[in-house]
Structure 1
C-alpha cells in the first residue's frame, strides 16, 4: 500500500487539499482502515478461508461504499 502520508489528496475539481488537519484525519483514517482490513484478512485465513476470496470480498466492500453527500 502507498504510504498514506504520501498521498496527494485532491478536491473534486482537482485542486490539492492543503488543510493540515484534514490531511492528518485522512492519513489516520487510512492507517486505521488498513489495520482493520489486515486483522480481518488474518482472522479469515486462520479460520480456513481462501485468501483470494477474502481479498475480493474486502475490495467489493470498498467498491460498494456509498457517498452520503452525493448530489442527485
Structure 2
C-alpha cells in the first residue's frame, strides 16, 4: 500500500509545484488557472514518468516515488 500511495502523491506534488511556478510573473486569476495547470501538469508528468519507467526502471522509480520505494505497487484482484 505504501508504494501506491507514494507513487500517487509524488506526481501530485510535482504538478502543484510546476503549476505554481507557471503562475510566477503572470497576471492570472489564481484559483481556476492553478487548478487546471496543476491537473494537466500532474497527468502529463505521470504519463511521461510511466513511459520512462518502462524503458529505464531505476529512473522511473525516482520520478514516480522520489526514490522512496523500490518496487512498483502490486494490486491483488478482488476476492
Which bin holds the TM-score, normalised by the shorter protein? 0.3 to 0.5
Q: Which has the larger radius of gyration?
A: 1
Name the structure with the higher helix share. 2
Identify which of structures 1 and 2 has the higher relative contact order when contacts are C-alpha pairs closer than 8 Å and 6+ apart. 2
TM-score w.r.t. the length of structure 2 is: 0.41
